[in-house]
Amino acid sequence: GAVVSQHPSRVICKSGTSVKIECRSLDFQATTMFWYRQFPKQSLMLMATSNEGSKATYEQGVEKDKFLINHASLTLSTLTVTSAHPEDSSFYICSARDRTGGRAIQYFGAGTRLSVL
Amino acid sequence: GESVGLHLPTLSVQEGDNSIINCAYSNSASDYFIWYKQESGKGPQFIIDIRSNMDKRQGQRVTVLLNKTVKHLSLQIAATQPGDSAVYFCAETLSGSARQLTFGSGTQLTVLP
């Protein structure tokens, strides 16, 4: 299947700093990418939909100024957690939609474990 | 709002037995369904998908069944192996639309030796 690369896999930062997470589709072009947050023992919670060349669409309750999304190319989307605080500690997962062959499979990155001290 | 849910939050099976993971969906407009496997600390991995014009689809050791009448989806894993231990999520969407996947709550599958 298609590969989505997410980096870094784990990051530990001090409170108040910003953290950038990259998501790349390696063998297909993704006009749409998605960012999820996942708490332990829970399902994936969609944070925002990233559209190449346009502004991201945020889900209700997600602060767009805190979670900055940039989708500058068809293979790269970034999520920046600005002024991170301990409550932002979580598992963040990106996903890219592959529309090849008329399908709409979302492939996921390996996730980023963010720990804010 | 409409959502996708799972009947069983946990499932334990003996190694070598078959596993059946169930999922109920409520959005009758959904026409595309996917099963994902998520191992601890990793992102979800695509297993198999099915369109609403099909009732059954088979992959390697896995079979997905779709019952549109009762809006029910199931994932069958044959000869379950220790490496199958993970959380399994079903997801649904409307193909051809910009709608993102809606995920179920997940089922933790544990394979006993």
What average pLDDT is seen over chain A?
91
DSSP state of B8: -
A1 pLDDT tier (thresholds 50, 70, 90): low
User: Could A105 and B34 be called an inter-chain contact, meaning their C-beta atoms sit closer than 8 Å?
Assistant: yes
Percent of chain B with pLDDT over 90: 71
Nearest residue, CB atoms, A104 vs list B32, B45, B103? B32
pLDDT 10s digits, B4-27 = 544 448 999 999 999 999 999 888
pLDDT (average), residues A89-113: 88
pLDDT at position B54, please? 96
Which residue is listed with tokens 């009448």?
Answer: B69
The reply to whether A6 touches chain B by the CB within 8 Å rule is yes
The reply to whether A77 touches chain B by the CB within 8 Å rule is no
pLDDT at position B7, please? 44
What's the rounded Cα separation, in Å, for the pair A51 and A38?
21
User: Could B100 and A42 be called an inter-chain contact, meaning their C-beta atoms sit closer than 8 Å?
Assistant: no
Residue A78 confidence (pLDDT) above 70: yes
The reply to whether A60 touches chain B by the CB within 8 Å rule is no
Closest of A117, A109, A116 to residue A44, by C-alpha: A109
CB-CB contact of B36 with B46 (8 Å): yes
What average pLDDT is seen over chain B?
89
Distance from CA of B16 to the nearest CA of A (A): 26
DSSP state of B84: G
What's the rounded Cα separation, in Å, for the pair B19 and B109?
9
